[in-house]
Chains A and B, each alone.
Chain A
């Protein structure tokens, strides 16, 4: 009796299996299951674009509809990765264009995308629907025009915090009159003004438009007319909120806002003037997500807004909110799940010290039972506060604390912040992401290694006494996937001791630490499944083995050493004289 499942039946069954984790398991059962699975996989996630070659992915999953790629390491966001390091989208787009004609969704993060890439996308994929670029760079508004012109069924075009060469606002005018399928448009990171009449026409012929995020150049007046054309919006990113409007315009705008019954997410609010805050009151009760991180609004106005946001789940705000404001959040926003407080002072926006301390976060941890994700920039903190927060919120999954002055101790006891972080990792058993700061000794990392069993991502800066700290982390944190470290005296010993651990992780970044050139060579020779990249802007050939290197980036890979490394990236296999190969972007 033939017990083999006919592949058509298996295909049908697999069409119900969405999770790629499950699909990965399916593909390990036997060859025929591997074959059936790979031909039916619709969404592919490659979280490190150098972990595997584009050709291998395209060959294996020819029917894929959606590709998600991540390029540069996270610390690239903070200028720690030199320009030209890599992360080029071109080879991927080329490979997918050749082998995966059904591709209609592309989501890229921290990659270099050129106009040629965008033109290639427009030309190669007949039914292209979704383009989401997050923290990408390398393209201009001309490339956007290419997408606009050619993708007649475009649904989503989102540029999230990209660095775009802005050649003007014409690109928007290239959307054809026949395009009516738009669901989401985000051009908030562009500078130039787009033609309002084109934008209005686009919005009015897009009945499915749910998310619209404008750039700063869109005036308040223009916002009014757009809202009237799209009252069904679920997500809105306003443009500049500071023009002077006359009374009639203000009341029209107020009316427009009150018509927006579906609005759940609000962002933008650049330069918002306090007198316009009341315009938003009508939408507050429905909001689940509010991003005020670019709104330089003072605490009293923020409070007025937030008392009305009883359903808020996600709040991004600047530290102008102060402890008092966070107390209001604690009492008004009982559904809050995610809180991010950004520094206003980092760029001289607010030269005087803002009255925000650890107490603000403590209040929120007390008042908001669903709080699970925190990013908090502040000037000082205490162990006691962290202990309280941990006790209140053992359900935290993400805790990122940035005490802005490096090496700051507990400001009341002058002790290191070891005990505070200990409480966090001990109590919050589901903690997956942790960023530490302040004065920390070995002990803190011993605690993290002992208790942080579910920790997947860990960020460390200006901490530590010795290699033992790194050793605690690498040997203790079983689920560790991404580790990024800067300016810590971690060195070779722990790295070499725990070399095998590195193959179980996605990546390790260490910059301005004490890793020697020799250790890097040793590691890369011993661990062929890792790419050990030394990123150092000084020549390495003549360096003694014991000299420390500026940065190392180590990641597991099936693809072997990459071929597009610039001169300042060194690996054992690479000939330092070779420049950038043709496999890099066009």
Chain B
């Protein structure tokens, strides 16, 4: 069967009968991502009943629904003509449609005869950093085609993905992470004494005063205090740091990322950790290697609460976040 067949089906307006195909309304054409130029067709949204016959464009505009919504004019995604590539917004984490359809047709793929990885299937090779052995972080990465104006790019920095670089897709195959972690310790035959997983990862909890929940970091994924500190800054910018009302509601002092950095770098907040003896110490006093050995928990404390922690360890009740 060919992928290049064109189906014409009448679809009803979305708001009336969603599960039936009734006559009336426009046609929905197959959008062929493998399309060769002479067989390409595009889908059009047909809520208004209008059919877009322009084969070279796809319309995202659902005319009936666009009334009154600012900025929702249809954007024409030109799938097949590279000349218009630079008008198309580009989000580096996802394959863009034009690249999908510009690869070879499905027939050719079918005839290839070998089991294939990503690189020679639907997506052109250069645009999926996804062949068998290449590390792909959280979402599939893409190379940035040269002719996209930089201004339209959102950040290509994919560093939000976990630093443990395994050459596999996140969440694939769909095996529960609990199971993965458990089996990982099986095959390491680790010398767990206190139940911590082997040298794979060293997760400690990080809490912050005023934050409603904790985060976890893998200390082994950083090599120095600077990396840890910037990772934590990033993680905790989601929290409001203003003074909360008596019922705990977020106060008026909303802080953005810059202010948090200032706070963390300044004296208002300090990073502390609980060591194996249960004492709370200031982070940064001991060499990094020693630190990750003894650190059990991290806590971002208000500066005033951390007075006295300076050099000498002092036992503190760990009640703050658990009260």
Answer whether A and B are interacting partners: yes
Contact status A471-B65, CB under 8 Å: no
Which interface residue of B19, B69, B196 has the most chain A CB atoms within 10 A? Answer: B19
Q: Which residues of A contact B312 (CB under 8 A)?
A: none
Interface SS of B by simple majority: loop
Within 104-138 of B, Cβ neighbours of A (below 8 Å) are at: 106, 110-113, 115-118, 121-122
Contact status B115-A408, CB under 8 Å: yes
Contact status B215-A521, CB under 8 Å: no
Q: Which residues of B contact A296 (CB under 8 A)?
A: 186-187
Question: Smallest distance from the beta carbon of A456 to chain B beta carbons, Å?
Answer: 15
Which interface residue of B20, B73, B213, B216 has the most chain A CB atoms within 10 A? Answer: B213
Contact status A116-B44, CB under 8 Å: no
A500/B15 contact (C-beta < 8 A), A271-B186, A294-B182, A347-B187 known: yes
Contact status A489-B95, CB under 8 Å: yes
Q: Nearest B residue to A169 by beta-carbon distance?
A: B195
Partner of A191, one of B20, B30, B195: B195
Q: Which residues of A contact B20 (CB under 8 A)?
A: 475
Q: Which residues of A contact B30 (CB under 8 A)?
A: 442, 465-466, 468
Cα distance, A459 to B173, chains bound together (Å): 13
A497/B117 contact (C-beta < 8 A), A466-B32, A538-B154 known: no
Binds A, one of B222-230, B238-246, B302-310: B238-246
Interface size on A, residues (CB 8 A): 113
Question: Smallest distance from the beta carbon of B151 to chain A beta carbons, Å?
Answer: 11
Partner of B19, one of A294, A416, A501, A514: A501
Contact status B18-A578, CB under 8 Å: no
Partner of B110, one of A409, A465, A471: A409
Q: Nearest B residue to A586 by beta-carbon distance?
A: B212
Contact status B237-A518, CB under 8 Å: no
Q: Which residues of B contact A279 (CB under 8 A)?
A: none
Cα distance, A512 to B111, chains bound together (Å): 28
Contact status A414-B113, CB under 8 Å: yes
Contact status B214-A138, CB under 8 Å: yes
Contact status A500-B14, CB under 8 Å: yes
Cα distance, A584 to B213, chains bound together (Å): 8
Partner of B31, one of A165, A468, A522: A468
Contact status A499-B175, CB under 8 Å: no
A124 at the interface (CB under 8 A from B): no
Within 54-104 of B, Cβ neighbours of A (below 8 Å) are at: 58, 60, 62, 65-66, 69, 71-73, 75, 77, 88-91, 93-95, 97, 100
Contact status A545-B72, CB under 8 Å: yes
Contact status B45-A497, CB under 8 Å: yes
Contact status A347-B180, CB under 8 Å: yes
Question: Smallest distance from the beta carbon of A224 to chain B beta carbons, Å?
Answer: 22
A79/B171 contact (C-beta < 8 A), A191-B196, A548-B91 known: yes
Q: Which residues of B contact A402 (CB under 8 A)?
A: 173-174
Interface SS of A by simple majority: loop
Q: Nearest B residue to A163 by beta-carbon distance?
A: B178
Within 294-323 of B, Cβ neighbours of A (below 8 Å) are at: 322
B250 at the interface (CB under 8 A from A): yes
B165 at the interface (CB under 8 A from A): no
Contact status A346-B175, CB under 8 Å: yes
B148 at the interface (CB under 8 A from A): no
Residues of B within 8 A of A (CB): 1, 3, 7, 11, 14-16, 18-21, 28, 30-34, 43-47, 58, 60, 62, 65-66, 69, 71-73, 75, 77, 88-91, 93-95, 97, 100, 106, 110-113, 115-118, 121-122, 139-140, 152, 154-155, 160, 169-180, 182-184, 186-187, 189, 192, 194-196, 205, 211-216, 237-240, 244, 247-250, 254, 256, 322
Residues of A within 8 A of B (CB): 75, 77-80, 83-84, 88, 112, 114-116, 135, 138, 161-163, 165-166, 168, 189-193, 217, 270-271, 293-294, 296, 342-343, 346-349, 377, 380, 402, 404-409, 411, 414-416, 418, 435, 439, 441-443, 459, 461, 465-468, 471, 474-476, 478, 486-487, 489, 491-493, 496-501, 504, 511-514, 516, 518-519, 521-522, 525-526, 537-538, 543-548, 550, 564, 566-568, 577-582, 584-586
**A and B contact pairs by CB, cutoff 8 A, 26 listed:** A77-B174, A161-B179, A163-B178, A190-B195, A343-B173, A346-B183, A349-B186, A377-B173, A402-B173, A407-B121, A407-B122, A465-B30, A465-B31, A468-B28, A475-B11, A492-B62, A493-B60, A496-B65, A497-B14, A497-B28, A497-B62, A521-B72, A525-B69, A547-B90, A579-B254, A580-B213
List of 7 A-B pairs having minimum Cβ-Cβ separation, nearest first: A191-B195, A78-B171, A579-B240, A582-B248, A466-B31, A546-B75, A501-B18
